[in-house]
A = this chain, B = another copy of it.
Amino acid sequence: MKVPLSCGAWALGFCLTFGIASFLRAAEDDALLKDARSIFAALPANFATAQRPITPALVELGRALFFDPRMSIDSTTSCARCHQPSLYGTDALAKSHGNHDRLNARNAPTVINAALQVKQHWTGNREDVEDQATKALTGPASFGNPNFDVPMARLKAIAGYQPMFKAAFPNDPNPITPENWGKAIGAYERTLVSRSRFDEFLGGKLDALSADERQGLRTFITTGCVACHNGIGVGGGEFKKFGVVEDYWKLTGSQDIDEGRALDTKKVEDKSLFKVPTLRNVAMTGPYFHDGSVASLEAAVRIAAKAQLGQTLGDNEVHDIVAFLGSLTGPLPENFATAPVLPAER
């Protein structure tokens, strides 16, 4: 076969150009991975700690309790009411409704990958998932009990729970306590881990992210989002003022101005401080921000860049960042997606 010289030269040029471009892209991706590894970390198998250990019996008990509404004052509210498996551990509401339709002060964050966070709740007024679960029993807008005696009496009346508490707390002669309720549910939540393609990328598999997603990751880093959204949770590690550059309520259209952490600490320097939310599974857990005031992820990305960094993102930047955030969606943990059978009352 005869190939015209011009064509051969063109092919050579093409190959060289393409080869160099590929080489450069590969080098860029290696650099991106290196950067990413210095900022983020892959999820562990579970969130157990030395102080908060997990056992199969503890997790099994906690899983049942998580789904049981009978310990709320009107027997309508389980943890799963506001943290529904089908909605990725949220309720898709701006603010959750608890017992007697009482409105919670803030948006319900997902329970998936939640235990990794520095504290619980938007203002960090719960130490950890165990503390959150115990205090929810008497939370006015959650379980609504006037004291711990009411839910503990109910728990004790359901015979099927007795062997489960016994197995979960073998050395405890009277294991049905508010603290153990929290320990069991907390242990369960420490197993709700949802690893995503981003974890594969961090593990070294460069093509676990698409070109758009990698570009989004680059933009996410260069724009400065990573100043707050970093670590294992891509957030969840610290408290920051929401509205560093511009008041958030002017951007979000929030109806009420929430003083955030200052409401708990009574310190003026904590005004408008909120926990930086983890962005894992963020594409599945709208609406956004502490008051659920923003419905779309695109809008939330624009507002966060504006309020926190003073940056007005272009459409391509928003598109790429949203693509990257989509790579943080993992599968529903199997022991969250599958309902436990609760002991029947006798």
Chain A residues in the interface with B (C-beta under 8 A): 64, 67-70, 74-76, 80, 84-88, 91-93, 97, 100-101, 283-287, 295-297, 332, 336-342, 344-346
Q: Are A87 and B295 in contact (CB under 8 A)?
A: no
Contact B67 A93 (CB under 8 A): no
- Whether the pair A87, B286 counts as a contact (CB closer than 8 A) is no
Q: In whole angstroms, what is the CA distance A88 to B337 when docked?
A: 16
The 10 closest A-B pairs by CB, nearest first: A101-B101, A85-B339, A67-B86, A86-B339, A337-B339, A86-B342, A76-B97, A284-B344, A338-B338, A100-B101
Query: How far is B158's CA from A284's CA once the two chains are assembled, in angstroms?
Result: 13
Contacts of A344 in B (CB 8 A): 88, 283-286
Chain B, residue nearest A346 (CB): B296
CA distance A88 to B67 in the complex (A): 12
> Which residue of B68, B76, B100, B339 contacts A93 across the interface (Cβ within 8 Å)?
B76
Beyond contacts A67-B86, A339-B339: 19 other A-B pairs, Cβ-Cβ < 8 A, are: A68-B86, A69-B91, A69-B92, A70-B92, A74-B97, A76-B93, A80-B86, A84-B339, A86-B339, A86-B340, A86-B341, A87-B342, A88-B341, A283-B344, A284-B341, A295-B345, A296-B346, A336-B339, A337-B338
Known contacts A85-B339, A283-B344, A346-B296: A92-B75 contact under CB 8 Å: yes
